[in-house]
Structure 1
Amino acid sequence: MTSEDDIRVGFAYANVSNPEICTNDCWPGKYGEYKTSTALQYDTFYRKVEAWGYPALAKRPNRSNEIVAASRSSDVSFNNSGPMTVPKPVELFKLHLGDLGKGEKPILPKEISYKRAITDYLKEMVLTVPAEFNNQAKAIMRQCVTDAGLITKKLEFTTEPEAAAIYCMKFFKEQFTNSVGSLFLTVDIGGGTVDLTKRKMRDKHTLDEITESTGGFCGGSYVDKEFIKFIEGKIGENAMKQLKQNNYGQLQYLVQEFCKRIKLPFTGNPDDFKEYELDIEEVCPVLKQYVHGVERTILEYDEWIIAISFDSVKAMFDPVIEKIVKLIDDQISKDGELISSIFLVGGFSESAYLQTIIKEEFSSRVLNISVPVQPIAAVVRGGVDYGLNFSVIRSRVLKYTYGVLVNQVFSYLTDPIDRKKADGRIYKFFRMATKGSQVNVNEEFSNFFKPSVERDTSLKFSVYITTAQNATYVDEPGMQLLGALTIDLPDPELGFDRLVRFSLTFGQMEIRADAKNVKTGRSYATTFELNFSDD
């Protein structure tokens, strides 16, 4: 079972005959950590992967090569024919699966599609998915896992907040046993994303989802971005631009040093903080060749030391933590029901400062706020638990409204003229299940339909989804075609007197469509081939 945010990935596993869960803590270039970087280093012509994970990003500077670095960047290698450009690492590719605008998605090399990057990464290691992943993203991930040759049987999904809730239920077993019927909130705070979900203990062993999962892009990596902005203010915009372009590995090493020496130990208490002196000549010596003007004058006077104060670090954390607090407050305030516990999981949840702020903000409204042991591994371990026992999840909340296209005769009294088809018909949306509804696993939603044209010999059910709770037409903004099921409809002489029972069943993490001809008893079923583009 693997878990990803846009920054790091980890995995856990168990044998069904001996279900002791093991969490991987051995990665290339790293030991004793539960996740590694989501990054790939390709060769010159993008033919193969030369490094993945942490080694693909952070490169410790070699001071003996500093003079050489001034004449050629670390992204240039040489062969008998002369210099060859070594590609920058490919990273953050998983963000292409999220619901981000095109301008917000990371730029990938033209030689590498995000689907290939995901497939290549999975080939290098051996699935949970963020809450914001839609059915299209799951279909792409399923195909990538298949293309990577990792599975021979069906791939099952669970969401990251769901897996985190399962892990917390097991870890805080005694507390959950005494809390049957009460509500709790899991907050998965990773590197790039924060996922939240409100659940209820149905009994000692099963969970109900109460509100729709929510999330945001405000994880721990955004503190790193604030640090980079801080450094840019000291060295100048052009120097930072050249460092990113020419020596990305040293930039990543600089960030890793910040995380290890400043970010992780930061408690938010001034008494615990000792001003840190960042030695550019030691941590990122190549920067000296890029800094000019007044910034160079200041840094030379300070002997290339950048002092990082308590207030500076706090200013890096606060904008990110404010967004996380807002997400938690929104979930707690939904429906006005009391929350008995908040469980914080994910890598950034280990931040002492973040924990302090959350407890200060919500301890008067929530009795218990806890962080389990190994919170960074909560999702992968909970995902394995789910794989061993699917029945632990009894209900989920729908993120979409589901319905089918119905072909009706156009009415000048009720229908807009611009939606009239050339044959005098109009395509409307018949709602079958509504966004925000709590549905039990394998719960069925059904209705009866008849042919729209009297002598049709087949009937096509086109299933659409929308984030709107109410919709009338299938061409409304936000409406997406999920899939279609076509059935034979014999006996055209019977005209409209041919009923078909159509149903949608919401299984573990998939949707099944069934259609039954009431007269003949013949049944049809499918799980959808999802429609998606290669963007």
Structure 2
Amino acid sequence: MVLWGLSRPKQSHNYPKVPTCNLYGPGSKDILEWGYPAKIAMTKPPFKNHILLSKYKLHLDESSGPHPPLPNGLTVVDAISDYLRVFHAHVLQSALRGFGSAFEQRHIQYCLSVPAMWTDHAKSMMRQAALQAGMITPLDPPHRLLLISEPEAAALYCEKKCDQYQIGHGQRFMICDAGGGTVDLIVFEVNAGPQGRTLREVTRGSGHSCGSVFLDERMEALLRRKFSKWTERGLTPANWVQIMETFIHNVKPLFDGIDDQYITMPAVPGRAELTDYEIGLEDGVLTVTAEEMRREVFDPVVDDVLRLIQHQLQQTQFNCQGIFLVGGFGCSSYLMTRVQAEFSHIVRLIAVPPRAELAVVRGAALAGITPRTVAARVARRWYGVDSLMIFEPGYDMPHKQVRDHEGLTRARDRFSVYVAPGQQVGVDECITKRYITYQYPKPVNSPLYACSSMAIPRYIDSPMVEKIGDFTIPLPYIPGALPGHKVVFELRMYFGATEIRAEAEVNGMVVSTRCHFSG
């Protein structure tokens, strides 16, 4: 079931998305409002001591460093699950209106988009939040909830426009998904075959927390500097909300880098005259020059986006025929101007597709309908498991030397590589390795490790190696086998999907494995 045309709760303008905002009472973990009603509530006196929680999704970006704890004892999974729960209730209510008695919740397949830069642990936390929100149950089959990277979802949407933009077989296009919190990029190559058109990743996806909320932060910092001398009776929290709403909805999307910007001030308690020539305020209208807006607000963030695009082009050796800017920030006139100025001599097509702000959500729906459009993806890190390998004097550290059950000299803690960074892996491609265990009949715990280093890690405790999960492999009954019996098994890994999955073959029998991702 595809739900594209949902009404937006209590929305006062035409922007087709709802902000990720949760409203909580003082010291409470119970969500009171969400989206626009949550933001509006903060402008009213009864809610002055309440907590408006936003931008908490950024807490799952482990590359941006430690984040301060959320208020009221909430965890990031709590905040996300609260939002998903109330949003999901709205979805169900809308679906019931549209489908009536023919509708059942089990008919819905969910597809959640996640930033390409997120780790496997962050994706696991998103799935956990969906479970906690009641969208799915632990007994549901895996396909009830699909996770898809945001640039890939946007690519599925833009793939429908390839003919319009004359991007054909063997040609490449970049998705620059510039959203609220993150900017994610991947380059795809088009393959037009007899079964239709498919896409394959040709670069390692990259991203950074440099979305449009950072424009908001820089704008608020600029305004607070301007109004810093209004100390006696300054702007109220409601004033700040109104001013920032004006910037977010009227100034930010239309700023072209050329025209000065004008912000109408709300009524400020204790100030009948709203004029202060020193800061550009005259008769209640604040003027921010284009030069100041570029320098203080836009350029520091846009420069980060340009660096990300440059990095992707370098990975393709500048063999890329198009750049699609999507997402809310992707619709920015100024961002488009800067990207064209920087890259139009290298890339023939730089475009913002129709309804670019909806590219990810519509592409995510397409992923559920046509799940095989993306045929291959590129690994971003080393992935491997713990293994005993032949001890190599001069290469292996002496304290790693052990003897195995057969008396052979081995090196313990070796990193057995499944996938290397930059390696292209098919969606259904199975990578298999054979291992031996003497733990029968106990289940085998096979930790999964990842590493972001340039060079191949030798050991699982080498620098930059982290354990990201544990695959539990149940051993089937083997007639006549005693405890400690030697068991040879194959561990099969699938890395081509957004989430890693695995299975094992033990004594000729295929058994499923459970993966518990580490914190």
TM-score by structure 2 length?
0.82
Residue of structure 2 equivalent to 1:147: 132
1:351 shift after superposition: 1.5
Matches within 5 A, 1:50-65: 50-58=32-40
Residue of structure 2 equivalent to 1:310: 290
Q: Give yes or no for contact 1:187–1:195 (8 Å, CA) kept in 2.
A: yes
Q: 1:47 to 1:107 in 2, by over 3 A?
A: closer
Residue 246 of structure 2 corresponds to residue 257 of structure 1 = yes
Q: Give yes or no for contact 1:26–1:33 (8 Å, CA) kept in 2.
A: no
1:411 shift after superposition: 6.9
Residue of structure 1 equivalent to 2:8: 26
Residue of structure 2 equivalent to 1:9: none
Matches within 5 A, 1:108-507: 108-126=70-88, 127-151=112-136, 153=140, 154-175=144-165, 179-203=168-192, 204-236=196-228, 247-269=236-258, 273-274=259-260, 276=262, 278-279=264-265, 282=266, 285=268, 306-315=286-295, 316-407=297-388, 413-417=394-398, 426-451=412-437, 460-468=445-453, 469-481=455-467, 482-488=469-475, 499-506=488-495
Q: Give yes or no for contact 2:504–2:513 (8 Å, CA) kept in 1.
A: no
Q: Give yes or no for contact 1:510–1:527 (8 Å, CA) kept in 2.
A: no
Residue 77 of structure 2 corresponds to residue 97 of structure 1 = no
Residue of structure 1 equivalent to 2:94: none
Residue of structure 2 equivalent to 1:83: none
CA distance in 2, matches of 1:268, 1:317: 9
Q: 1:460 to 1:306 in 2, by over 3 A?
A: closer
Q: 1:303 to 1:341 in 2, by over 3 A?
A: closer
Residue 35 of structure 2 corresponds to residue 88 of structure 1 = no
Q: 1:487 to 1:36 in 2, by over 3 A?
A: closer
* 1:313 counterpart letter in structure 2: M
1:495 shift after superposition: 9.2
Q: Give yes or no for contact 1:404–1:461 (8 Å, CA) kept in 2.
A: yes
Q: Which shows bigger deviation, 523-532 or 374-383?
A: 523-532
1:255 shift after superposition: 0.8
* 2:62 counterpart letter in structure 1: D
Residue of structure 1 equivalent to 2:512: 525
Q: Which shows bigger deviation, 407-416 or 118-127?
A: 407-416
Q: Give yes or no for contact 2:178–2:326 (8 Å, CA) kept in 1.
A: yes
SS of the residue corresponding to residue 390 of structure 1 reads coil
1:208 shift after superposition: 0.4
Q: Give yes or no for contact 2:186–2:312 (8 Å, CA) kept in 1.
A: yes
CA distance in 2, matches of 1:445, 1:110: 45
* 2:75 counterpart letter in structure 1: S
* 1:426 counterpart letter in structure 2: R
* 2:515 counterpart letter in structure 1: F
Q: Give yes or no for contact 1:60–1:253 (8 Å, CA) kept in 2.
A: no
CA distance in 2, matches of 1:163, 1:300: 43
Q: 1:334 to 1:102 in 2, by over 3 A?
A: closer
CA distance in 1, matches of 2:247, 2:342: 27
* 1:118 counterpart letter in structure 2: I
SS of the residue corresponding to residue 36 of structure 1 reads coil
Q: 1:101 to 1:164 in 2, by over 3 A?
A: closer
Unmatched runs of 5 consecutive residues or more in structure 2:
89-111, 405-409
TM-score by structure 1 length?
0.79
* 1:428 counterpart letter in structure 2: R
CA distance in 2, matches of 1:320, 1:504: 38
1:264 shift after superposition: 2.3
Offset from partner CA, 1:269-322 (integer Å, 9 cap, x none)? 3xxx2552543xx25x25969x9xxx9996799666543222222222122111
SS of the residue corresponding to residue 171 of structure 1 reads coil
SS of the residue corresponding to residue 381 of structure 1 reads helix
SS of the residue corresponding to residue 122 of structure 2 reads helix
Q: 1:311 to 1:472 in 2, by over 3 A?
A: same
CA distance in 1, matches of 2:374, 2:181: 26
* 1:526 counterpart letter in structure 2: T
SS of the residue corresponding to residue 257 of structure 2 reads coil
Offset from partner CA, 1:403-427 (integer Å, 9 cap, x none)? 1111358777543256568999732
Q: Give yes or no for contact 1:60–1:250 (8 Å, CA) kept in 2.
A: no
1:253 shift after superposition: 2.1
Q: Give yes or no for contact 1:183–1:338 (8 Å, CA) kept in 2.
A: yes
Q: 1:301 to 1:312 in 2, by over 3 A?
A: closer
Give the CA RMSD over aligned residues.
3.5
CA distance in 2, matches of 1:218, 1:287: 37
CA distance in 2, matches of 1:498, 1:46: 53
Q: 1:43 to 1:301 in 2, by over 3 A?
A: closer
1:523 shift after superposition: 3.2
Q: Give yes or no for contact 1:25–1:31 (8 Å, CA) kept in 2.
A: no
Residue of structure 2 equivalent to 1:508: 497
Q: 1:45 to 1:287 in 2, by over 3 A?
A: farther
Q: Kindly, what percent of the aligned residue pairs are identical?
A: 27
* 1:268 counterpart letter in structure 2: G
SS of the residue corresponding to residue 456 of structure 2 reads coil
1:333 shift after superposition: 1.6
Q: 1:179 to 1:108 in 2, by over 3 A?
A: same
Q: Give yes or no for contact 2:201–2:424 (8 Å, CA) kept in 1.
A: yes
SS of the residue corresponding to residue 162 of structure 1 reads helix
Q: Give yes or no for contact 2:177–2:183 (8 Å, CA) kept in 1.
A: yes
1:211 shift after superposition: 0.7
CA distance in 1, matches of 2:314, 2:124: 33
* 1:35 counterpart letter in structure 2: K
